[in-house]
Amino acid sequence: MLEPFQGEAGVLEPPAGYLAAARRITREKGALLWLDEIQTGMGRTGAWFAHHAVDELVETPPDLVTVAKGLGGGFPIGACIALGDAAHLLEPGNHGTTFGGNPVACAAALAVIGVIESEDLLERTLLLGQKLRDGLLADPRVVEVRGKGLLIGITLSEPLSAEVGAAALAAGYIVNNPTPDRIRLAPALVLTDEDASAFLAAWPGILDAAFGGTA
């Protein structure tokens, strides 16, 4: 399985042609191309799925896509989407699941999809993500900001991610520090302009506290 933008090192973007090469190799070998969009799907990157931004996959999409997390808006649910010939691999009786088809979870997922569509959250995710990346990178203690939409990875100039996480929490914000010099942000898609502006205003003070007040 391939997970395009998420990894142990934070938020990673594949090199150009990576997924297209994976699609070509799997077709040549008779294997399925399975994309893990559990963290990146459901609008997180400004598209319904992160792989939608890969032009090479428009004509030859993946065979399987797994989704969860954002699908239920906090309510536990997961789904495996099969496309093309792969959609006929499992038939009734081939596979069972304890919680599959839970009507409450399915209702929650349908509600989430409806809100993303009705409130145009995909476009807002792109705009707010760019606003955050530009604002975060303006501080010299940030050497790189990457990602798409509201899945954002930050590389710090010093290995102080734990200190940044603690300072952010003290300021009222929850961030993730996956490695000593990296911070990951994954705010909710309902993030407002005011929320983004407030975090950017607090960001220099958070870094001051983590870096000992040195800019």
Each residue of 41-55: pLDDT tens digit? 999 999 999 988 776
State the sign of the Cα–Cα–Cα–Cα dihedral 184, 185, 189, 193.
negative
Q: Which domain holds residue 206?
A: 121-211
pTM of the model: 0.84
- Exposed, middle or buried, 154 (CB in 10 Å: 0-12/13-18/19+)? buried
Domain contains 160: yes
pLDDT band for 3, please (50, 70, 90 cuts): very low
Q: How many domains does the chain have?
A: 2
Order of strands, sheet of 151-156, starting from the edge strand that comes earlier in the sequence:
142-148, 151-156, 182-185, 176-179
| Spatial distance between the Cα atoms of 34 and 31, rounded to a whole number of angstroms | 9
Q: Which of 212, 48, 203 is nearest to 137 (CA)?
A: 203
Which DSSP symbol is given to 85? Answer: G
SS3 185: strand
Q: Which amino acid is at 31?
A: A
Last residue of a domain, one of 118, 136, 158: 118
Each residue of 147-178: pLDDT tens digit? 999 999 999 999 999 999 999 999 999 999 99
Question: Is the same domain home to 101 and 171?
Answer: no
Question: Is the same domain home to 141 and 206?
Answer: yes
